[in-house]
């Protein structure tokens, strides 16, 4: 019986998370706290006795660096890593780089809330959560899931919204349900899958 292990982890705190800016596809680095969160995620996974065969991450350095730091804590830096923009954060378009409070002053609280929390309404020039799912899910099904089902122990280091898309499918959440789901930075979520790709068990390593 293969393990069919899949671990999801959101990158540690980024410089723009700290500054309350819309980040999206902007390529910003981790803060000192983000580095600490990534290392702590590695320690938590190591304490669970886990090892990995393959890793996937986005084209953005905050996710890549989180993965590198995490694997280094586990003495597993040599495993194959695939980077792909299909796992990138949701593109916030014209909101990218703006302070969230400034955006509310410009467009109004209600409009910004709709852009941030609706399932299928995108900000100007950007992506909705549904758009993010439309690029993330096919990549998961075609590239990542086959590894898991073959018994390759797999970790994905990505972003709040690209991981939301995967959690929505794994946990069979509705569009309304996924909007209420927060994915904290640097906290691994451990899934073990059945042979039919449904979830057999889930363990959230929140402190």
Residue 84 tokens, joined = 């792909």
> Is there a catalytic annotation at residue 11?
yes
- Residue 123, pLDDT score: 94
Rounded CA separation 142/18 (Å):
34
Task: Please say if the pLDDT value at position 207 is more than 80.
Answer: no
C-beta of residue 34 within 8 angstroms of C-beta of residue 14: yes
- Residue 117, pLDDT score: 84
Tens of pLDDT along 32-55?
Answer: 999 999 999 999 999 999 999 999
- Residue 190, pLDDT score: 97
**Candidate list 73, 89, 127, 159, residue with the active-site label:** 89
Tens of pLDDT along 121-170?
Answer: 999 999 999 999 999 999 999 999 999 999 999 999 999 999 998 999 99
> Is there a catalytic annotation at residue 89?
yes
Task: Please say if the pLDDT value at position 1 is more than 80.
Answer: no
For residue 124, which phi and psi values (nearest 5 degrees)?
-55, 125
pLDDT, mean over the chain = 94
Task: Please say if the pLDDT value at position 17 is more than 90.
Answer: no
User: Considering the entire predicted model, what is its pTM?
Assistant: 0.94
Tens of pLDDT along 90-110?
Answer: 999 999 999 999 999 999 999
**Candidate list 11, 40, 73, 159, residue with the active-site label:** 11
Q: Which domains does the chain have, with CATH numbers?
A: 5-204 (3.40.50.1240)
């Amino acid at each position: 019986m293969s393990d069919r292990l899949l671990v999801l982890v959101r990158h540690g705190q980024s410089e723009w998370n700290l500054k309350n800016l819309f980040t999206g596809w902007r390529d910003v680095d981790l803060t000192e706290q983000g580095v600490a969160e990534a290392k702590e995620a590695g320690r938590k996974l190591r304490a669970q006795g886990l090892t990995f065969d393959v890793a996937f991450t986005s084209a953005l350095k905050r996710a890549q660096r989180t993965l590198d730091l995490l694997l280094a804590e586990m003495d597993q830096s040599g495993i194959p890593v695939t980077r792909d923009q299909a796992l990138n954060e949701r593109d916030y378009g014209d909101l990218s780089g703006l302070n969230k409070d400034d955006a509310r002053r410009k467009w109004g609280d209600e409009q910004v809330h709709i852009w941030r929390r609706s399932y299928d309404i995108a900000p100007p020039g950007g992506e909705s959560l549904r758009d993010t799912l439309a690029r993330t899910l096919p990549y998961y099904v075609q590239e990542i899931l086959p590894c898991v089902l073959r018994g390759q122990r797999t970790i994905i280091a990505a972003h709040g919204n690209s991981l939301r898309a995967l959690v929505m499918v794994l946990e069979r959440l509705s569009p309304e349900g996924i909007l209420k789901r927060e994915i904290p930075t640097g906290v691994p979520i451990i899934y073990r899958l059945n042979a039919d790709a449904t979830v057999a068990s889930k363990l959230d390593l929140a402190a």
